[in-house]
């Protein structure tokens, strides 16, 4: 569970008491027993957790993290920097005081604050400290401190440790000692790790960064009273990245629990065998997002999943974790996080405004089992919109539009029967010809962008095999991978992308049994109309809440324009055209909804 909701960054600590209370109820009803948090939450989190556990037969346990700011680590490439160490150790002591209900934290930018009086320590099963370690920092510390040797502390010590493991052992010793001395209390510990800094050699990995460094939990040992608590290794493991997971034949052909090929099970098998202690999969999952970022040979991609797909894939991955007899698995994540970014869309939006709208094209925002999207228009082919702007009516034909925090909606109504296809043109830039063309037919649709407004083309034209005409319409695409060379075979892996402008017909009403979150349009012969919803980013919106859009793409793609409205035109029996304007917004509208994946996970955990 993260620290953000719509309209807030994590450092705003904006989740309310009522939200925590409701979420704990829903998590318990999902048959989950453990929540992982990465940092100190506001006092209401601890108070509501204690209230829940004291008033319910079910018990919710916490795996508590201690956050460390990644920017100083990346800037200095040295975790031993005195300011970094002092700040982190103070954060660890605050976290200990917080779970024991004995903290008064002052207001600080980017941190929760207040009076912490709820003692939830009986329900905190473990510490999982730190973040995904920056491999260049791990490697630099190895070069900077070649003769450091091993750490010899009160509760922890190391054997044949690298500097990062020495540093981690020292921090864990401080954590153990502070909780033992102050509260006569201890609990098992771990530190965050990920595939990038695992202990396995991956000769098929094309990226040097993804296999250049290791952080080994087995180099750290406990002694004295800490032996009563023990330790475990923690890894974030997803099925689609790094690339060696999709390339290494031993993984791709490995037989999973159900007898089918599973690169995920293959990697898990090696990871578990590499450790002498229990291993926790501290993050796993796929997003229910329209946008995609990375592919997987079995379709367990980093995006472009319906909510049903999300639930079924997550359930499959958890069964692989159970079959391999891991300590457990934690689904990432409880709630959608609108502030998030991802590499193939982050250059196209305003980073300071991400929490104020919902970007269907950025997969990182939609890993949650809890959605916040309002669905102001329910795309189902009925044409029954609660609100709308009629842009044009001619001889019985009609063009209407509306919007919410996630989509721009269009509706075209014909006079009598629908034509074989409906073509809609969209103008975003003032004083230009049409910027987008949308062609819809029963069962299929496509959205295209004019060449000189195609961010993908200007970003990746060197990787494209053919020169494209900037005056023609281009398909709308998302990059999935740069061209790479597989080091163990010399194979050239080509530049990979996906046509995200392909539009899917379906039902976009979450209350309908046939709901599909990937629905783009509904074609209704019965009602003689077509309904369409387009994610804001596919219209080159950088921040629709302030009507900020991409400007001209040359000489650089960092230019913005602020528009008054958007022009729309349909040329069918009559020419319908008009302009749609909307009010800017600050606090975004949002509406909590449990995704379809929630029910699938609820059934899984009941087993």
What is the distance in angstroms between the CA of the first residue and the CA of the last residue of the chain?
23
**Residue ranges of the domains in the chain?**
10-371+592-606, 389-580
pLDDT in tens, 118-164: 999 999 999 999 999 999 999 999 999 999 999 999 999 999 999 99
| pLDDT tens for each residue of 250-294 | 999 999 999 999 999 999 999 999 999 999 999 999 999 999 999
Q: Across-strand partners of 284?
A: 331
Residue 246 near residue 297 (C-beta atoms within 8 A): yes
How much is the average pLDDT of 524-547?
98
Largest CA distance in the chain: 86
| 45 contacts 20 by C-beta, under 8 angstroms | yes
Higher per-residue confidence, 188 vs 469: 188
Q: How many CB atoms lie within 10 A of CB 468?
A: 13
Which one, of 209, 204, 186, lies nearest residue 251 by Cα?
A: 204
Q: What is the pLDDT of residues 443-491, one digit of tens each?
A: 999 999 999 999 999 999 888 877 888 889 999 999 999 999 999 999 9
For 560-580, the three-class secondary structure string (H helix, E strand, C coil) is EEECCCEEEEEECCCEEEEEE
Percentage, residues of the chain above pLDDT 90: 95
Structure confidence at residue 573 (pLDDT):
63
Count Cα neighbours of 255 within 13 Å in the Cβ-side half-sphere: 2
Q: How far apart are CA 600 and CA 607, in angstroms?
A: 11
The CATH superfamily holding the domain 10-371+592-606 is Glycosidases (3.20.20.80)
Token couple for 558: 């960092």
CB 567 within 8 A of CB 579: yes
Contacts 24+ apart (CB under 8 A), 30-33: 30/369, 30/598, 30/601, 30/602, 30/605, 31/602, 31/605, 31/606, 32/60, 32/601, 32/605, 33/58, 33/59, 33/60, 33/61
pLDDT of residue 445: 98
| pLDDT tens for each residue of 299-345 | 999 999 999 999 999 999 999 999 999 999 999 999 999 999 999 99
Q: Which residues contact 13 (CB under 8 A, 6 or more apart)?
A: 3, 41, 42, 111, 112, 113
Q: Is the pLDDT of residue 354 over 80?
A: yes
What pLDDT, on the 0 to 100 scale, is given for residue 433? 83
Share of the chain above pLDDT 70, in %: 100
CA torsion sign for 140, 142, 145, 146 is negative
Q: How far is CA 124 from the centre of its chain?
A: 25
Please state, rounded to an integer, the average pLDDT across all residues of the chain: 97
Predicted TM-score (pTM) of the model is 0.97
């Amino acid at each position: 569970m993260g620290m953000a909701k719509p309209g807030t960054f994590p450092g705003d600590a904006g989740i309310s008491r009522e939200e925590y209370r409701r979420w704990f109820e829903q998590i318990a009803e999902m048959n989950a027993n453990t929540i992982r948090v990465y940092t100190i939450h506001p006092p209401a989190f601890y108070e509501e957790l204690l209230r829940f556990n004291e008033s319910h037969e079910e018990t919710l346990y916490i795996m508590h993290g201690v956050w460390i700011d990644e920017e100083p680590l990346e800037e200095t490439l040295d975790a031993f920097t005195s300011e970094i160490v002092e700040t982190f150790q103070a954060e660890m002591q605050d976290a200990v005081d917080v779970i024991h209900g004995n903290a008064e934290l002052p207001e600080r930018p980017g941190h929760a604050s207040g009076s912490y009086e709820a003692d939830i320590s009986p329900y905190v099963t473990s510490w999982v400290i730190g973040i995904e370690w920056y491999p260049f920092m791990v490697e630099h510390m190895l070069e900077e401190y070649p003769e450091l040797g091993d750490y010899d502390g009160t509760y922890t010590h190391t054997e044949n440790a690298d500097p990062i493991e020495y540093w981690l052992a020292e921090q864990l010793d401080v954590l153990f000692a502070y909780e033992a001395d102050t509260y006569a209390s201890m609990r098992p510990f771990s530190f965050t790790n990920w595939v990038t800094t695992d202990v396995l050699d991956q000769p098929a990995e094309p990226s040097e960064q993804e296999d250049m460094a290791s952080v080994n939990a087995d180099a750290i040992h406990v002694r004295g009273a800490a032996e009563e608590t023990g330790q475990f290794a923690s890894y974030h493991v997803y099925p689609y990245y790094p690339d060696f997971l999709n390339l290494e034949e031993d993984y791709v052909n490995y037989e999973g629990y159900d007898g089918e090929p599973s690169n995920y099970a293959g990697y898990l098998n090696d990871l578990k065998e590499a450790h002498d202690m229990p291993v926790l999969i501290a993050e796993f999952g796929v997003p229910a997002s329209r946008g995609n970022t990375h592919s997987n040979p079995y379709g367990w991609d980093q995006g472009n999943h319906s909510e049903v797909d999300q639930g079924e894939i997550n359930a499959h991955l958890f069964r692989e974790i159970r079959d391999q007899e891991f300590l457990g698995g934690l689904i990432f994540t409880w709630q959608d996080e609108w502030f998030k970014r991802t590499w193939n869309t982050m250059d196209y939006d305003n980073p300071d405004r991400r929490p104020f709208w919902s970007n269907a094209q950025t997969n990182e925002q939609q890993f949650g089992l809890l959605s916040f999207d309002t669905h102001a228009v329910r795309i189902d082919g009925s044409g029954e919109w609660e609100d709308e702007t009629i842009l044009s009516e001619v001889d019985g034909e009609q063009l209407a539009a509306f919007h919410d925090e996630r989509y721009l909606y269009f509706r075209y109504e014909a006079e009598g029967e629908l034509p074989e296809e409906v073509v809609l043109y969209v103008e975003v830039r003032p004083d230009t010809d049409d910027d987008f063309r949308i062609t819809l037919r029963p069962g299929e649709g496509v959205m295209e962008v004019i060449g000189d407004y195609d961010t993908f083309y200007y970003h990746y034209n060197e990787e494209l095999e053919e020169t494209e005409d900037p005056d023609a319409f281009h398909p709308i695409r998302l990059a999935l991978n740069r061209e790479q060379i597989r080091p163990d075979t010399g194979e050239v892996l080509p530049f990979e992308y996906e046509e995200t402008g392909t539009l899917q017909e379906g039902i976009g009403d979450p209350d309908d049994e046939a709901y599909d979150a990937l629905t783009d349009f509904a074609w209704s012969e019965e009602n003689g109309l077509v309904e369409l919803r387009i994610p804001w980013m596919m219209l080159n919106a950088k921040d629709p809440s302030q009507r900020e859009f991409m400007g001209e793409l040359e000489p650089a793609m960092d230019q913005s324009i602020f528009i008054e409205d958007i022009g729309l035109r349909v040329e069918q029996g009559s020419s319908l055209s008009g302009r749609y304007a909307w009010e800017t917004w600050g606090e975004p509208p949002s509406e909590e909804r449990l995704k379809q994946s929630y029910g699938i996970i609820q059934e899984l955990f009941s087993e």
